Structure 1
Amino acid sequence: MFAFIAREPILDKSKSVFAYELIFRDGKGGAYPEHSPEKAQYIEAQFHPLGLDDISGEKSSFINFSSETLISRFPTTLDPASVVVELADNPFTETGLLEACQHIKQLGYRLAIDDPMMLSARHDILPLIDIVKVDVSRTRFETIEKHIPRYLDANVKLVAEQVNTPDHFATCSDLGFDLFQGYFFAQPEARIVRQLPASKMNIVDLMGEVSGDSFDINRISHVIERDAALSYLLLKFINNPAINKRYKITSLKHALNYMGEVEIKKFIALLSLTNLGDEKPLEIIHMSLVRAKFFDLLSQQRGLKANPPIGFLVGLFSLLEGLLDQSMSDIVKQLPLSDALNNALLGKNAEFVQYMTLVKAFESALWMNVIKVAKNLDIDQKQLHTLYNQAIVWGNGVRSVITAHYPQAQVRAN
């Protein structure tokens, strides 16, 4: 069980999540942490630790291990089917590491190596390696082109790291990389000022309704009921066992009586976002879900107004630029959101600026930023980890509901 952790998605060419790389705050250099039984028991009792299934869902987990752990204390309780063992140290100089890797391969684990200069192509370790990760921000494309054929011949998958824009993704895909690590999928593909399509106007209406103080249940019911897909998906959300284990909800009005206005607003906003971004990779929706829950929990911790649930809405809509390929200033002009929500999305609310800094720190394992914001918000940083872990579990649960109803991302040719 792990309490202090970040995860970074690794996507395939179709922009579907292949795996998550896990980065441990309490492990040296982000590697797998080794705790005494007493410390492990303390963490489990005091915080909200997660298992690998909680963190990565049904996806594989890339985990860095120090050479000392691999050679002497490798945790064989980890599932070889879902864990990729990543070498944290240079295998070309560490005595005994090659033999340890041979043993780990015999146990059924896949091996990955960070190799920005692609030196493993000419090393004895190559036959053991399943995946090579290349930081494309540190490697010349000429070097990559030169070495890629050798890896392809060896049936080794290649991961491009630090892929942070759609252009980087397209270039790396053309070079022959199989997998891509970075937040390119959450960035706008082209900033074009355009109106939202007429087919999305029902969604726009719903987004406006949930951001205000008033709540017209009859109007919202009318908007949802005239769209069969919206009606179906809303009931799927609300009847998710992770949310509602007791009653079978059959209508929006029934849900309102059972869950209350604030929770219904959250689910209608979630439904709206899912339908607004249905041409984008599912992972950008997933990130939005985690942000929404994290901001919601933070807002409650800080005693912010609960209705409308502005923390939830700011987190949920924080990646609209990547979903709609427009600037946030152009987006808010087209959406009937409240002034308070617009200001927060435009970075004009100091409270939510702190939240944005914090969630980006968790997404990228920028632990010093977590410490800084925790001090500014007067919240114990370990408590922030607990809230973020809860948000990950909630986001995974909701993602599992929408996956079957969400189309594959469209990979656009350049």
Structure 2
Amino acid sequence: MYSYIARQPIFDQRQQLIGYELLFRDGEQNSFPSIDPDEATSRLITEHHFLVGLERITQHKLAFINFTEDSLLYQFPHALDPANTVIEILESVPFSSELLTACRQLHEQGYQLALDDYTFNPQWQRLMPYIHFLKVDIRQNPLPTLAAQLAQLEDFRGKLLAEKVETMEEFQQLKQLGFDYFQGYFFAHPQMLRHKKLGHHQIHLLALIAEAAEPELDFDKLVRVMERDLGLSYKLLRFINSAFYARTKPIQTLKHAMVFMGAIELKKFIALVALSNLAENQQPELLKLSIIRARFCDLIAQASGQAQLQSSAFLTGLLSLIDALLEQPLPQVLTQLPVQDAIKQALLNQQGPLSQPLQLVLHYEQANWQNCQQQLQHLSSEPMDVRAMYLDAIEWAEQLQL
């Protein structure tokens, strides 16, 4: 039996990351394994916090964790650090004097509390002095009627958090309504909102990514390309001399660095550096999520016995958000990026062998455990520790300095 955890980022008005909602499950009918909510909360804490450390998963950002009635009343939160834990009271929890007492005690102990899927029901008024976050599902509370509902909260001194934000228009409207924090597919799976012409520098970087996708690398050609960009040359030498390779003697020349890295690692590095330069004016979390997906797809391809697909799987994950990074439709970006057809099929149509690692990481991010299990069965008959691979991908992305 494997345990899983997913994280969905939460941003402020400037699109800066403030924390993650940690998801053990997303509904009893779409969970793996099939357990009740109380056990899900308990196992999230015991299997992930005690064995791994939630701070490792959130990289010391706030951890928003769902709690049911029993898990609140029986003091499960006390195992967690109040400094970086937000206790989410699920919408299914009924109000009671016992709940009020538990919330007051948690508040006094320094924990931050959130009401999940807040419905503007007056029954929650007695809890408000202890609530730091109100999470409002904007699919259940449409924007046209939300302003009138928010007027009921004029005495609330906490923060408003909008859930299921899907478009830039919604994001802008919610900011005007006074929301402080946001989460949803607009951030985790950004949609194309406008078109922007690519400059010569960006086209040059796309050409580098395309070169990394070639079956056979032309080292001399790459040296000539890299030598024209001092920034890229510096990053290559810094990367090869970093702790990743633990060399006793530094490498001084580009050609030496490329040969030492080998074709597979060099392909990854070129794609990483090129994409990081493409994304330099975008929110860093988009780039980090791209790198996490790339590393995860790479590890999955290796673990499933498809080592020949590793570099292609890595590039597929890395390019999975390139439409958002360049603010262009994905088909249009791919016309300027002559990558192999298998990568295009995976990105555009979710088809082919390279789509399987990518679909697995997308299901994992959304805590669709049942779909994760089905995808794993397609990939390999051997068991794989997907949670460990995802943690590896997170740490790899955090440590990488480009």
CA distance in 1, matches of 2:316, 2:44: 40
Q: Choose the corresponding residue for 2:177, options 150, 175, 178.
A: 175
Q: Secondary structure at the match of 1:285?
A: helix
CA distance in 1, matches of 2:186, 2:36: 27
Paired residues for 1:382-393 under 5 Å: 383-393=385-395
CA 125–90 in structure 1, closer or farther in 2 if over 3 Å, else same: farther
For normalisation by structure 2, the TM-score amounts to: 0.86
What amino acid is aligned across from residue 154 of structure 1 in structure 2? F
1:52 aligns with 2:60: no
CA 367–207 in structure 1, closer or farther in 2 if over 3 Å, else same: same
Aligned to 2:28: none
State which drifts further: 292-301 or 123-132: 292-301
CA 64–307 in structure 1, closer or farther in 2 if over 3 Å, else same: closer
1:342 aligns with 2:344: yes
Task: For residues 253-307 of structure 1, give each alpha carbon's deviation from its aligned partner in whole angstroms, at most 9, with x where no partner exists.
Answer: 3433443221121011011111112232222111111110111111112333537
Indicate conservation of the 8 Å contact 1:238/1:255, yes or no.
yes
What amino acid is aligned across from residue 377 of structure 1 in structure 2? L
Per the TM alignment, residue 365 of structure 1 is displaced from its structure 2 partner at its CA by: 0.8
Indicate conservation of the 8 Å contact 2:192/2:324, yes or no.
yes
Indicate conservation of the 8 Å contact 1:6/1:363, yes or no.
yes
State which drifts further: 271-280 or 245-254: 245-254
1:224 aligns with 2:226: yes
CA 229–306 in structure 1, closer or farther in 2 if over 3 Å, else same: same
CA distance in 2, matches of 1:5, 1:308: 24
Q: Secondary structure at the match of 1:244?
A: coil
State which drifts further: 53-62 or 131-140: 53-62
Aligned to 2:30: none
Per the TM alignment, residue 382 of structure 1 is displaced from its structure 2 partner at its CA by: 5.6
Indicate conservation of the 8 Å contact 2:297/2:313, yes or no.
yes
1:34 aligns with 2:42: yes
Aligned to 1:408: none
Paired residues for 1:198-209 under 5 Å: 198-209=200-211
Aligned to 1:160: 162
What amino acid is aligned across from residue 22 of structure 1 in structure 2? L
Indicate conservation of the 8 Å contact 1:32/1:64, yes or no.
no
Indicate conservation of the 8 Å contact 1:116/1:136, yes or no.
no
Aligned to 1:313: 315
Indicate conservation of the 8 Å contact 1:166/1:189, yes or no.
no
CA RMSD of aligned residues (A): 3.0
Aligned to 2:118: 116
Aligned to 2:212: 210
Paired residues for 1:122-271 under 5 Å: 123-149=125-151, 151=153, 153-185=155-187, 186-190=189-193, 192=195, 195-241=197-243, 243-247=244-248, 248-271=250-273
Aligned to 1:20: 20
Q: Secondary structure at the match of 1:362?
A: helix
Indicate conservation of the 8 Å contact 2:77/2:87, yes or no.
no
Indicate conservation of the 8 Å contact 2:23/2:367, yes or no.
yes
Indicate conservation of the 8 Å contact 2:95/2:123, yes or no.
no
Q: Secondary structure at the match of 2:193?
A: coil
Per the TM alignment, residue 246 of structure 1 is displaced from its structure 2 partner at its CA by: 4.3
1:327 aligns with 2:329: yes
What amino acid is aligned across from residue 289 of structure 1 in structure 2? I
| Percentage of pairs with the same residue | 35
CA 176–233 in structure 1, closer or farther in 2 if over 3 Å, else same: farther
Indicate conservation of the 8 Å contact 2:291/2:397, yes or no.
yes
CA distance in 2, matches of 1:11, 1:289: 19
CA distance in 2, matches of 1:202, 1:390: 31
Q: Secondary structure at the match of 2:82?
A: coil
State which drifts further: 134-143 or 383-392: 383-392
Task: For residues 98-125 of structure 1, give each alpha carbon's deviation from its aligned partner in whole angstroms, at most 9, with x where no partner exists.
Answer: 1111111111111111143223696110
CA 250–310 in structure 1, closer or farther in 2 if over 3 Å, else same: same
Indicate conservation of the 8 Å contact 2:342/2:352, yes or no.
no
Per the TM alignment, residue 355 of structure 1 is displaced from its structure 2 partner at its CA by: 2.6
For normalisation by structure 1, the TM-score amounts to: 0.84
CA 152–324 in structure 1, closer or farther in 2 if over 3 Å, else same: farther
CA distance in 1, matches of 2:381, 2:109: 43
CA distance in 2, matches of 1:250, 1:119: 66
Aligned to 2:285: 283
Q: Secondary structure at the match of 1:20?
A: strand
Indicate conservation of the 8 Å contact 2:210/2:338, yes or no.
yes
Indicate conservation of the 8 Å contact 1:195/1:334, yes or no.
no
Q: Choose the corresponding residue for 1:79, options 57, 78, 81.
A: 81
Per the TM alignment, residue 315 of structure 1 is displaced from its structure 2 partner at its CA by: 0.6
Per the TM alignment, residue 75 of structure 1 is displaced from its structure 2 partner at its CA by: 4.1
Q: Secondary structure at the match of 2:7?
A: strand
CA distance in 1, matches of 2:301, 2:20: 27
What amino acid is aligned across from residue 11 of structure 1 in structure 2? F
Per the TM alignment, residue 308 of structure 1 is displaced from its structure 2 partner at its CA by: 7.3
Per the TM alignment, residue 138 of structure 1 is displaced from its structure 2 partner at its CA by: 0.5
What amino acid is aligned across from residue 353 of structure 1 in structure 2? S
Q: Secondary structure at the match of 1:34?
A: helix
